[in-house]
Amino acid sequence: MKVKVESINGGPAGTVTMRPEGGVLVLEGAALTAPTCLNINHIYAVNQGDSVTTVFIKLFEIAKKGAPLNVVKYRFDCSSLLDATQLRDGVIHAAFPDGPRNLHIFVNPASGSGRAVKIWQEETLPILTDSIHNVISTITTHRGHAEEVVRNMKLGPKDTLVSISGDGLLFEIVNGAVNRPDFNPRGSDGVTFATIPGGSGNGLAMTLHGYVNARDAAIALCLGRTVKLDCMITRQPSTTGIRCGFLGVGYAISADIDINSEFMRPFFGGTRFIAYALKKLLQWNIPGYGATLRYVPAASLQHPPRLNECTLQPGCPLCGEAADAEAGLQDWHTVTDDLLFVNVNNIPYIASDCKASPYAHLSDGLCDLVFVRRRDITRMGMVRLLLALETGGHVMHPAVQYVKCHRVELMPQGPVQTYITLDGEVLKQGEKIEIEIMRGALCFVSSRTYTVLL
C-alpha cells in the first residue's frame, strides 16, 4: 500500500508506504531529511480526525528497558476521503489483524486507597477510547460482584476481561471465568484476561509487564499480545468445587503479614507488608506454625541455585517443554514441623516488590514451594530473608527450602495456626488444602513480548 498525503504532522506533502513483510510504515516527504520507519507492531491507535480526510496514528517508542513508554502521534492530511480510508483501514488491518475486541473493564473503587477509579478515568480510559476496541466498564459495588457478573455474562473469543485494581479483583474475575460450564482451558478460542495495576499488591502486573504503570499497561491492552499462564487449582474438604489462583498459596508468617496488615492499608499503601513484618519480627515470640507438607517434587533448588528463570515470554524453553504429567506422581515427600514461612507460588512476583519465587515459570505446569522451618533460622536471619524478598535473593539463605512441584498438600497442625491464603484471599482455616496446576489454562495480555528484550 502506498498513499500520497498532502501533509505529515502539518508539514509539506509526502507519501506513506506500508511494508507488511517488514512490519513498518515508511514516511517520505520534503520535510523529512530521510525516510522515517514506524514499527507497525508498536501502533496502538488509529483514528479519524475532525475532518474525514485526516488520520491520526499513535504508537509508542521504548527509550530503554524499564523506562515509561514514549507516545508519539502522527497526523496525516489526505487529499480525499478515499485516500484517508485506504490509509486508515490498511494500518488497522496490519496492526490489528484480528480486528477489534470487547474490553470488559472491572474497577474496584476501594482499591489502591481509593485511587482505582481515578486511574481508570484519567490514565486508562483516554488510551482505550483512542483504540479500535469496544469498551464496556463496570464499577464493582460489593465483594464478589465481578465474579457474579463474569459467571453469567455472554463471553466469546473476542472478549477480554480486565481488572483495574490490585490482585483481589482479578481473583474474582478469574474464578468467575474458570467456574463457568463453557470454560475451555485447552482451547485457543477462549477469553483473555488483563490487569491494569490499581492496588497495593500488583504481583501479576509486575510479572506480566515488568512495571506498575497503568498507562503503559493500557497500551499493552490495546495491542493485545498474550502469554499463556498456569492456573493454580485448590480444594478443601468443606468447600464445594474449586478455587483458582494465579499468584499462590500462603501460610505461616507470610499469610499472617498479608492479612493482618490490612489495617495499615490507608496509611502505608503497598508498604504495609514491610511495616507489619518489621512489627512482627520485633516481637519475635513466634513459636512456629505447625503443619504437615506433602509434595511431589519435580526439581529441587541447591545452593548455589541451579534452576533457570523464566523469560516471561511465549518462547521460554522450559514453558514450551512437553509436559511430563505422570513422572513421579506417586513419589510424595512429607515434612512435619513447626514452619515459619510457607509459600506455594505460581509466578515469580506475589507483589510488585516481592519476588518470592524467582524460578517460577509462566506455564511449565509446576508450582514453586518455598518454606522455612522455625528451628532453622534466627530473628536476624528472618529479617535478612524478608529484606531480600524484593530481588529474590532470599532463596540463597541456607534455611530456605525451594522445591518445584507437581502437587502440594498442606495440613495445619498444632496449637499455633494462622490463615491460609490464595492470592491474598482467606481460605478455610485449619483445613487441609490440596494444590495442583492446570497448565497454560489462562491467557493474559503481556507487554513482556516487546519490552523484555531491550
φ, ψ dihedrals at 4, nearest 5°:
-85, 135
Q: Is the pLDDT score of 301 beyond 70? A: no
User: Are both 110 and 210 inside the same structural domain?
Assistant: yes
Q: For residue 307, tell me if it sits in a domain.
A: yes
Question: What average pLDDT does the segment 267-290 reach?
Answer: 70
Name the strand (E) or helix (H) holding 48. strand 43-48
User: Are both 35 and 120 inside the same structural domain?
Assistant: no
Q: Is the pLDDT score of 399 beyond 60? A: yes
Question: What's the first-to-final CA gap in the chain, in angstroms?
Answer: 30
> In the numeric block, which cell numbers belong to residue 346?
505460581
Identify the pLDDT of residue 177: 93
Helix, strand, or coil here: 17? strand
User: Are both 398 and 258 inside the same structural domain?
Assistant: yes
The domain spanning residue 52 has which CATH number? 2.30.29.30
The domain spanning residue 186 has which CATH number? 3.40.50.10330
User: Are both 281 and 357 inside the same structural domain?
Assistant: yes
Where does 13-124 have alpha helices with state H?
81-95, 116-118
Domain count, the chain: 3
Identify the pLDDT of residue 45: 94
Identify the pLDDT of residue 327: 52
pTM: 0.90
User: Are both 360 and 392 inside the same structural domain?
Assistant: yes
Question: What average pLDDT does the segment 274-288 reach?
Answer: 71
What is the rounded distance in angstroms from the CA atom of residue 422 to the CA atom of residue 302? 27
Q: For residue 444, tell me if it sits in a domain.
A: no
Note whether 247 and 345 are within 8 A (CB).
Answer: yes
Higher pLDDT, 41 or 304: 41
Note whether 91 and 140 are within 8 A (CB).
Answer: no
Q: Is the pLDDT score of 254 beyond 90? A: no
Closest CA to 341 of 302, 310, 375: 375
Question: What average pLDDT does the segment 416-430 reach?
Answer: 87
Q: Is the pLDDT score of 268 beyond 80? A: no
Identify the pLDDT of residue 454: 35
For 74-97, the pLDDT digits (tens) are: 999 999 999 999 999 999 998 999
Identify the pLDDT of residue 304: 45
- Rounded to the nearest angstrom, the gap between the alpha carbon of residue 169 and the centroid of all alpha carbons in its chain is 12
Q: Is the pLDDT score of 281 beyond 80? A: no
Q: Is the pLDDT score of 367 beyond 60? A: yes
Residue ending a domain, choose from 95, 113, 132: 95
User: Are both 19 and 43 inside the same structural domain?
Assistant: yes
User: Are both 77 and 37 inside the same structural domain?
Assistant: yes
Q: For residue 239, tell me if it sits in a domain.
A: no
For 194-219, the pLDDT digits (tens) are: 999 987 778 999 999 888 889 999 99
User: Are both 270 and 398 inside the same structural domain?
Assistant: yes
DSSP letters, 339-375, are EEEEEEESSS-SBTTB---TT--SSSS-EEEEEEEGG
What is the rounded distance in angstroms from the CA atom of residue 261 to the CA atom of residue 200? 12
Residue ending a domain, choose from 190, 224, 258: 224
Identify the pLDDT of residue 232: 96
Question: What average pLDDT does the segment 407-425 reach?
Answer: 87
Q: For residue 442, tell me if it sits in a domain.
A: no
Per the structure, the complete domain to which residue 365 belongs is given by 244-316+326-437
* Pairing of β 421-422 and β 425-426: antiparallel
User: Are both 64 and 135 inside the same structural domain?
Assistant: no
Closest CA to 364 of 255, 242, 227: 227
Identify the pLDDT of residue 452: 40
The domain spanning residue 358 has which CATH number? 2.60.200.40
Residue 402, sorted as left (phi over 0), alpha (psi -120 to 50) or beta, turns out to be beta
Residue ending a domain, choose from 70, 95, 120: 95
3-state secondary structure string across 398-454: CCEEEEEEEEEEEEECCCCCCCCEECCEECCCCCCEEEEEEEEEEEEECCHHHHCCC
Mean confidence (pLDDT) of the chain? 86
User: Are both 39 and 73 inside the same structural domain?
Assistant: yes
User: Are both 194 and 272 inside the same structural domain?
Assistant: no
For 28-72, the pLDDT digits (tens) are: 776 566 678 888 889 999 998 889 999 999 998 877 766 788 899
Note whether 222 and 45 are within 8 A (CB).
Answer: yes
What's 202's DSSP letter?
B
Report the percentage of the chain scoring pLDDT > 90. Answer: 52
- As to burial, measured by CB atoms within 10 angstroms (0-12 exposed, 13-18 middle, 19+ buried), residue 369 is buried
Question: What average pLDDT does the segment 130-149 reach?
Answer: 95
Q: For residue 238, tell me if it sits in a domain.
A: no
Q: For residue 450, tell me if it sits in a domain.
A: no
Identify the pLDDT of residue 231: 95
Higher pLDDT, 211 or 273: 211
Confidence grade of residue 263 (pLDDT, cut at 50, 70, 90): low
User: Are both 112 and 87 inside the same structural domain?
Assistant: no
Q: For residue 449, tell me if it sits in a domain.
A: no
Helix, strand, or coil here: 257? helix
Closest CA to 377 of 279, 280, 284: 284
Confidence grade of residue 453 (pLDDT, cut at 50, 70, 90): very low
What is the rounded distance in angstroms from the CA atom of residue 239 to the CA atom of residue 65? 44
What is the rounded distance in angstroms from the CA atom of residue 70 to the CA atom of residue 56? 16
Where does 261-352 have alpha helices with state H?
265-268, 272-283, 317-320
Compute and round to an integer the Cα radius of gyration of the chain. Answer: 24
For residue 170, what are the contacts with CB-CB under 8 A and spacing of at least 6? 163, 193, 195, 204, 246
